[in-house]
Structure 1
């Protein structure tokens, strides 16, 4: 099934929807995401359809509604050709649950695109504006027996909330589409009468022996009692502290933390802070938040992490996926962080251009991936109501995410929207009030725009598209007297209109060369704090240079499968961690590809590369250090001219420190190519909120992707789950590879088996085990 997330049969829904929800205990998240200790996830058993009169009333006829699971997108989508008209409407989600009278209940929605009304038993209890931040709602009037939670979702462009521009021509005036739906996690649960609503755990004096943790605790009602905090790392308590409380807030410090291990990109050491509030011997509430001790500074001499200079090396990320929009579960969101940190070796990611999934940020904390997070918006500032919502977004973003050690800068300006200094002074000031520990910034389209030193933000960030097609690649020099970070460059402005695996070899190679040159130039000057290129993954867009509704600017495609440009990023890692040899060419012999030729690029972190054709020596690749003098690991050039009619096997042996660390082979014979079908994860949970990607690709006999393969792949899934994706994939359009996602049903363990078939490559199978999960309803 493409687009709309797994639908349950009506019989299955009716059998399961009477389950009592408010008695299952679930551990809260490490951050500020859990409404309380007795919480259940509202992933399944929703009824969904278009808005209709009376659809929020308890007695509404639900016969025409369809059972769905969260996260959910309101419209079927493919991997390209999205139509915004298909989601620009009002929609209804209804959820029955069994409650108990006399208790306090809270629902939380992590993201609803774009506006939401929440009704309980026919009564409107809250309206929320904006699609990128969570909101909580107390549910008064929960009754014993059946209750109906009805959420009206408004996905229309005309809403006056960032980044929408209601009086513009339509959604194609901004550079990303926004499919509607309850597209992030939702929870509901019984909560204490007095509740800890927020804990801000701010490390202080991190680089001194007297480092401490400053805690700010907020309650939703006055408290008379005591708050205690235990700081733990690797399961061991390092220190604890306590303070009396006689109101709705309390601040205190926990000292004695000289032994804490600092959080770093190479050693992301995290701490749990267990905060408990008591009145006499009675525990009123408890919350666990996660943080990390690190010192991050943007200076005119570069960026410093824990006192050492670190050149920021990264990419921008959009949260959109094929088939589902943003509506894929936490495991999939986390996988993006793993790709960026472990496969592309980024030390920083920019969340463009809105706050992203908490699961993604949690993974950044765990992996050591620094984060720029920014408010929703793109290229425009709206009217007074729009600007008030913009301020609310600043507060919501900072309060939600200020415990994440990975986040080192708040983007408090609307991306590429200059000329509104007074508003940006307000947004910057608000962010610093809520979190004095981080710098503020905002990505400019003009290098001279905005007030910086002592003004609205503290780091000058520039989307540098100075270089244009046909001209040598260049970056503007840093502006004196202010920390300087390049937040975008290259895209599809400095080179081709699109970068696809189906494009000519020269186009694919050009993208890799531009990314390498950009980072080389940034590495040459310590005044650059670093460079975040555009971008990690292709994404759906109708703006400017989009081709068929997709912007092909990613170094990986929309399926998260690497293009040749990703090979540059993959090579920038110590060979002791992972040796890399990635040709910048396709070892193929067709009308469009004839091997490699003279001066072919190989991306590698090795010291030497020896070449072999059919296991006979064919010379040594030469370093391109002269072209990229400041890269840690420059590429190599290889002369691989093959006489017409030959299709030899290529072998590349990589040496580091005088020893062979990697040997790779590439087949020139398409007759031995195979179809592969490989899941990211071998096991999933049967909780209704799990999923994994399966990559289907044409590969040579040694496992290298064969981008020039055409033909249709058909897919068939068996087992207790659903296919998020198209059942036929056109390799000619996707460049020999694509992906789908598998999503198990709730409460049905078993085995998911995906079978892929191609006319000439044969068939391949992926198997994923689905296990029961008693901790989630």
Structure 2
């Protein structure tokens, strides 16, 4: 539903079956006894509302606040048409928790948009500026029994922090930033001697004498022994140790004997656990485990090399924004984006544009073999001195948070498209190299004229190449000699078309696919290109140039993560023995095209041969378009599909690889047998308040293909102890016959959630999701 109706008010919460849980909201819902910073996930119920005088006081009257779960967005949103005024304010979150032991407590917030001030039992504790990186706060004065944590969130655009531009409209930035505690938060006791950071850096990866250099930083250290154990697939490979002197704050050691470690690769993302333990005699003072991977990633003037092997980088840019929730989606949903990029779109690299993204997303990139360009918050401009100081802090926080991820292969230390050789860029590049000498720095430029790309600035020339224009011969700018060259953006909506929606004419949607294919074909033609990361993976909210109704429709999938024809190109570039693809670049629907898609209709496929049939009568083999795309691993096919008016035949495509039938697809021309589908990504979720899954609701033909031309309203309702993240009515005419909502269980007992979708002509469909108690296996999703 739209507007304030979708907020989880006390009345709506109780109506949804939350009465049995409300006591935990007020009386204390997190008992904290176990040591360690992750001892209590703060996902279950907080009380939330607009900022008011006294709202941080311990005795504040909470009757006007609503129960919410983290991650959370302050404003109700639909799937498009977002209004920045709805979140530009100050807000209050209050959390009651019970401390069952005395001790030292800290809280960690993975992301608060945009600034935060933290209070404990009415006393100010700390503040943090910036919305994209984590911060921790000491919680002095936690008492045994009931305590109140209050967080004031400031979501106003006028804040002088990257990427904001005070004095201008939010529409000057090419993405909106809804406010809230939109990433996970934790609270727990910490030991007196505490490991604060571990940097595990592989050394000489391609030599038999490869090793791991470990730097461990400690807080309130005492004389102790620090050991680092490297484990892979549950087996210890080697360990090293060093002594920490009294008063020391850091120790460095090397772990040798790692010649047997499996290297991390896009095809085999073999990870290692590095277990660091601090002991004083027999007593374990603290222990911390980090993951890493052994790999060598080199950007050179002759291309990109991973573990000594040339790899043409093939990928997309990703924004983190979702319909209905802004960035406030739980970890499972964040991980799902990485799965779409790697497994469904065959990307070998993603650019996190234009800010550091969810740790859960990066964890999934590590596990899936998806390389990452990560960059600081910013877009198109550099602010004043205070803004630049915050920018340096962002560089440090980004590098320290993510330098153990093997998927991250470059730091974007320039502000996106803010060209120039300012002193700030020299500082950001040097700072990144000091904190992590193992990775190069770069920054996406809008112009290559006079760009510095060596020394203290950037080491890779990265260019957002929008030279292609509709009606002109497609081209990319050539690489510049003597420097590694990567195309960090291309296509988008700057090639003559303002939007690529699944509701747009077939020719527009096909054009998007052709442009993406041609861009990657040109990048593949010249080994000097390290690769190309096109714009972009998913549609996103924006009020900037070429937006339509508050959204940018540049994605190869829509904001619901539902594929457009351009996604079929990416899907077709993987090996057929992993997933055989035969995907039409057209709709098999005779409403808009009574005579069918016509001559030269495109089919995206990784097969060697396609045989095409109408009502099981052979039309003949489709023709390879190798001449149009000579450098793609798998060029598309063309076939003539002119159907006599009045006929609605069934289309069949049989794909062969190595002389063997590997895929057979059928598409119905008969709309009378269309159905409504309601399909969850995950059939089981955790009932801890911090889990969710997407449910795709689509009009499909009887073979399961989305019928993009379907119109009409779909009503959506959820039964059970959970929250519907989505509108209660969806307009298929606006979304192209398909949309999605997300289902999120409340923190509480296990049970069943049933989502019901109803369409006037297609009938009813349901999705059933079971919820499991915290700590138990939560289904098949990541």
Q: Shared fold (TM-score greater than 0.5)? A: yes
Does residue 15 (structure 1) correspond to residue 14 (structure 2)? The answer is no
Equivalent in the alignment of 1:549 = 550
Equivalent in the alignment of 2:95 = 95
| CA distance in structure 2 between the partners assigned to 1:521 and 1:280 by the alignment | 62
Shift of 1:775: 7.2
Equivalent in the alignment of 1:334 = 335
Shift of 1:100: 4.9
Look up the SS of the partner of 2:277 in the other structure.
strand
Equivalent in the alignment of 1:33 = none
8 Å contact kept, 1:688–1:744 = yes
| CA distance in structure 1 between the partners assigned to 2:649 and 2:243 by the alignment | 77
| CA distance in structure 1 between the partners assigned to 2:591 and 2:381 by the alignment | 47
Note the residue ranges of structure 2 that are not aligned, 5 or more in a row.
Answer: 778-782
| CA distance in structure 1 between the partners assigned to 2:674 and 2:462 by the alignment | 46
Summarize the alignment of residues 489-500 of structure 1 with structure 2, pairs less than 5 Å apart.
489-500=490-501
8 Å contact kept, 1:227–1:277 = yes
Look up the SS of the partner of 2:364 in the other structure.
helix
| CA distance in structure 2 between the partners assigned to 1:732 and 1:662 by the alignment | 31
Does residue 158 (structure 1) correspond to residue 158 (structure 2)? The answer is yes
8 Å contact kept, 1:229–1:241 = yes
8 Å contact kept, 1:38–1:191 = no
Summarize the alignment of residues 614-625 of structure 1 with structure 2, pairs less than 5 Å apart.
614-625=615-626
Summarize the alignment of residues 685-700 of structure 1 with structure 2, pairs less than 5 Å apart.
685-700=686-701
Does residue 270 (structure 1) correspond to residue 279 (structure 2)? The answer is no
8 Å contact kept, 1:484–1:528 = yes
Does residue 512 (structure 1) correspond to residue 519 (structure 2)? The answer is no
| CA distance in structure 2 between the partners assigned to 1:593 and 1:715 by the alignment | 32
| CA distance in structure 1 between the partners assigned to 2:624 and 2:102 by the alignment | 73
Does residue 658 (structure 1) correspond to residue 667 (structure 2)? The answer is no
Equivalent in the alignment of 2:390 = 389
Summarize the alignment of residues 210-225 of structure 1 with structure 2, pairs less than 5 Å apart.
210-225=209-224
* CA-to-aligned-CA distance 1:9-58 (integer Å, 9 cap, x gap): 485554113346343549xxxxxxxxx25610011221100000111010
Shift of 1:763: 1.1
| CA distance in structure 1 between the partners assigned to 2:489 and 2:221 by the alignment | 46
Equivalent in the alignment of 1:176 = 175
Equivalent in the alignment of 1:190 = 189
**After the TM superposition, which of the residue ranges 574-583 and 592-601 deviates more from structure 2?**
592-601
- Residues 522 and 309 (structure 1), Cα distance of their counterparts in 2 relative to 1, 3 Å cut: same
| CA distance in structure 1 between the partners assigned to 2:669 and 2:54 by the alignment | 65
Shift of 1:101: 6.4
8 Å contact kept, 2:589–2:596 = yes
| CA distance in structure 1 between the partners assigned to 2:203 and 2:2 by the alignment | 49
| CA distance in structure 2 between the partners assigned to 1:5 and 1:282 by the alignment | 49
8 Å contact kept, 2:351–2:533 = yes
Equivalent in the alignment of 1:357 = 358
8 Å contact kept, 1:504–1:592 = no
8 Å contact kept, 1:22–1:39 = no
8 Å contact kept, 2:37–2:106 = no
8 Å contact kept, 2:88–2:179 = yes
8 Å contact kept, 2:195–2:288 = yes
Summarize the alignment of residues 93-492 of structure 1 with structure 2, pairs less than 5 Å apart.
93-100=93-100, 102-168=102-168, 170-246=169-245, 247-492=248-493
Shift of 1:454: 2.3
Shift of 1:716: 1.5
| CA distance in structure 2 between the partners assigned to 1:476 and 1:612 by the alignment | 42
**After the TM superposition, which of the residue ranges 351-360 and 583-592 deviates more from structure 2?**
583-592
Look up the SS of the partner of 1:223 in the other structure.
coil
Look up the SS of the partner of 2:443 in the other structure.
strand
Equivalent in the alignment of 2:39 = 39
* CA-to-aligned-CA distance 1:414-434 (integer Å, 9 cap, x gap): 000012431101000000000
| CA distance in structure 1 between the partners assigned to 2:205 and 2:632 by the alignment | 31
Equivalent in the alignment of 1:29 = none
Shift of 1:465: 0.6
| CA distance in structure 2 between the partners assigned to 1:474 and 1:186 by the alignment | 46
| CA distance in structure 1 between the partners assigned to 2:38 and 2:51 by the alignment | 31
Aligned Cα RMSD in Å? Answer: 1.4
8 Å contact kept, 1:502–1:708 = yes
| CA distance in structure 1 between the partners assigned to 2:300 and 2:422 by the alignment | 22
Shift of 1:545: 0.4
* CA-to-aligned-CA distance 1:90-123 (integer Å, 9 cap, x gap): 0000111112564100000000000000011111
8 Å contact kept, 1:421–1:451 = no
8 Å contact kept, 2:29–2:96 = no
* CA-to-aligned-CA distance 1:149-192 (integer Å, 9 cap, x gap): 10000000000000000022x11000000000000000000110
Equivalent in the alignment of 2:780 = none
Note the residue ranges of structure 1 that are not aligned, 5 or more in a row.
Answer: 27-35
Name the TM-score, length of structure 2 as normaliser: 0.96
- Residues 746 and 248 (structure 1), Cα distance of their counterparts in 2 relative to 1, 3 Å cut: same
Shift of 1:221: 1.8
8 Å contact kept, 2:37–2:107 = no
8 Å contact kept, 1:421–1:450 = no
Look up the SS of the partner of 2:222 in the other structure.
strand
| CA distance in structure 2 between the partners assigned to 1:603 and 1:196 by the alignment | 51
* CA-to-aligned-CA distance 1:545-572 (integer Å, 9 cap, x gap): 0001010000000000000000000000
* CA-to-aligned-CA distance 1:66-95 (integer Å, 9 cap, x gap): 111100000100001100000000000011
Look up the SS of the partner of 1:222 in the other structure.
coil
| CA distance in structure 2 between the partners assigned to 1:407 and 1:654 by the alignment | 36
Name the TM-score, length of structure 1 as normaliser: 0.97
Shift of 1:448: 2.1
8 Å contact kept, 2:105–2:138 = yes
| Aligned residue pairs, count | 766
| CA distance in structure 2 between the partners assigned to 1:463 and 1:360 by the alignment | 24
